[in-house]
Amino acid sequence: MTARQTTAIVLSLWLAAGCKSPPPTFEEAPPADELYAEGLEILEGGRFLRIIPWVNHGRAIETFQAIIDNYPYSDYAVLAELKIADAYFDDGKYEEALSYYRDFSDLHPQHPEVPYTIWRSALCHEKRKRPPNRDQTATRDAIVYLGHLAIALPFLFWLIKRAQGIGARLPWIVLALAITAFGLTAFLHLRFAAFAEVLILFAVAVFIDTAFAAAGSIRSDVQRGLVRGGVMALLLVGPLMLGKAIANSGFDGFADADTPRTANSVCDVGAMTRHIEKAQLAGGGSATVLAFMDLGPQILYRSRLRVIGTPYHRNGAGILDSHTMLASEDDRAAGALMRARGVDLILLCPDSAERAFYSERDSTNRLYDRLVAGQPPAGLRPVVLPPLLSEAFMLYLVGPPILERRLY
């Protein structure tokens, strides 16, 4: 072998070795408990500029998904599935949340958090069908409490324009931005109204001082008194009158009338419970009612009736049993559970968005579907309601036929 051939072989081997890819490296995932703790910490969120709450739901979902991918048989993987559903729910993505909640209850039917997933699934159905106009009650209340915004903000803009130099304008700019931020937030969540009002007080105080100083140049005592009195009347009565006028106007937004609404916005629970107690139906105030979970709190608040399911995390068994009974296709199993729970009445509000929680498109044999269709099984008898109540409610009596009575 010549020297030239030897050199060529060595060079070829060297090039081959240089072109060889390095072995792949795998980054070891942190332990499941650390990932879970990290996900919880992300869900707790923080505050943008130390004022506005903010949560990175996408990052939290990725962290919990890493537990499922790397530790699929860990107890933390099961908890991670639930936290992913919660993250989607809190982020307003109710379709995704509903899918995860359903998968959780299907994959882990004996898990103690199954009642929680059923309740949250019902909330997903309700929220994704809520009309775009929302309930205007909070808006009207906010106008009553925050009507001074109509005075404070224009006055602050006038002060900003009138001030000379950035140093003089900056305090008014900051105050105007803060009032605007808290004011807009209060129209969505009324509990923030107090923060906005505190800030508005500063602007209103300067407005009063400026108005009174301007009125001081008026020579006539009568005219000066009228101006000052008018300013005070505007501040004291104006917002209340504005809110009252809107509340009495019947303004309900611009949503389609056919859009499904929440149970409490459709059904007059107070009128229904008063009729039940007045007629002494199934024991009157001592009766136990199987109703939509969304109606439970109002029934408890407005009457002496008892309910099975309410949207509270400590009532997991009641939530699960309510769903089991109304969504059951087995009349014997549903009846046995009703007897065990002591159910006297079944109260339905078919126009509520919660109905989707008990009804399936592919099945019409569920108890809820049959009750709405007027085809109750043996042992359940319809109660004739007054015209106004019958437009929103359906009521069934559980027990012997002799207990049936008309409510009017």
For the segment 267-304, what is each residue's pLDDT rounded down to a tens digit? 788 888 888 888 777 665 678 899 888 888 888 888 88
For residue 306, what is the enclosing H or E element? strand 306-307
**What is the structure's pLDDT at 132?**
45
Show the domains of the chain with their CATH numbers. Answer: 32-111 (1.25.40.10), 137-248 (no CATH), 263-403 (3.40.50)
Question: What stretches of 148-220 show up as alpha helix (H) in DSSP?
Answer: 149-162, 166-188, 193-215
99 with 121: CB under 8 angstroms?
Answer: no
Alpha-carbon distance of 103 to 109, in angstroms, equals 10
The answer for 61, left when phi > 0, alpha when psi is -120 to 50, beta otherwise, is alpha
Q: What are phi and psi of 48, to 5 degrees?
A: -75, 125
**CA-closest candidate to residue 182, choices 170, 197, 169:** 197
**Residue 243: pLDDT over 80:** no
Between helix 57-70 and helix 75-90 the angle, nearest 10°, is 160
**What is the structure's pLDDT at 285?**
61
**Residue 83: pLDDT over 90:** yes
**CA-closest candidate to residue 122, choices 325, 262, 255, 297:** 262
Mean pLDDT score, 367-393: 87
